[in-house]
Amino acid sequence: MGHMSGQGSQGPQPLPGIRHIIAVGSGKGGVGKTTVAVNLAIALSRLGNRVGLLDADVYGPNVPLMMGSRDQPRVLEGNQIGPLEAHGVKLISVGSISPGDKPMVMRGPMLHQIIRQFLQQVEWGELDYLIVDLPPGTGDVVISLVQTVPLTGAVIVSTPSDVALQDGRKAIEMFRQVNVDVLGIVENMSFFTCPHCHHEIDIFSKGGVERTAREYQIAFLGSVALDPEIRYGGDRGLPVSLAGELSERAAPFYKIAGQLAERAQEHASKETNILEIR
């Protein structure tokens, strides 16, 4: 399959050794997108995959905190960057490079540079999945990502509240505009179980995300309860997924990981067919 003339290095270039690159995005902040990305990465890894996690949320890079990683990445020969590793997942974050509470103030071109570096200059090695935690909203980072590498697809995280769903729909539209398959949508903070009477309380009106998924004909990957322990695990750098798929709290993330893996495989075989038809 020869390259079309004139395409050169402008188009997105696959990263050698990485099978699937999956972006995790949300229309708005505060829906637990990073919590889902981190627990998903750990669950995929525990299910026997080689997993990398790229924290591309330049405005609030929380991955190092949630993964309990305080190290600085090593600079290797030829200006390559050695990723950090935590809980069996390789990771890199803007937060590891500008540690502490200093906010990252960045303009478009600088952002693009960082995203490109994190993709191309990090020694990821062989990975089955590279999960990319995006900043909330629909912006520059997604464009940079799409211009740099071919994505397998995106996962959208939303809470069932109307406001979050409205923004979730914007995220779906944005990925469609840049021709990225939305592999599925996750309902986070779906319901709260009262620790005393064990009743489920729908704080944000559960089920809205599933309806949105149906409306847009997108897979509903599953829902995660609003549970203080999930947040607490992230705050301590010990995400709940570490408890394994038999743990009641971790199980939803393993279910989502399994569904996502299936969708990613489907996407990959679809791509191969298209290439063969050509």
Out of 3.20.20.20, 3.40.50.1980, 3.40.50.300, 3.30.160.270, which CATH number does the structure's domain 18-277 have?
A: 3.40.50.300
* Owner of token pair 């679809």: 270
- Write down the pLDDT at residue 253: 96
Per the model's pLDDT, the better-predicted residue between 158 and 273 turns out to be: 158
- Locate the domains of the chain by residue range: 18-277
Q: Average pLDDT of 198-217?
A: 85
pLDDT at 271 over 80: no
- Write down the pLDDT at residue 63: 92
Q: How confident is the model at residue 9 (pLDDT cuts 50, 70, 90)?
A: low
The angle, 0 to 180 degrees and rounded to 10, between the axes of the packed helices 251-277 and 33-46 is 80
Using a cut of 0.85, tell me whether the model's pTM lies above it: yes
Q: How many percent of the chain have pLDDT more than 70?
A: 90
Tens digits of per-residue pLDDT, 72-96? 888 888 889 999 999 999 999 987 7
Can you tell me the distance from the alpha carbon of 161 to that of 23, in angstroms, rounded to the nearest whole number? 22
pLDDT at 8 over 60: no
Q: In terms of C-beta density within 10 A (0-12 exposed, 13-18 middle, 19 or more buried), how is residue 61 classed?
A: buried
Can you tell me the distance from the alpha carbon of 164 to that of 28, in angstroms, rounded to the nearest whole number? 6
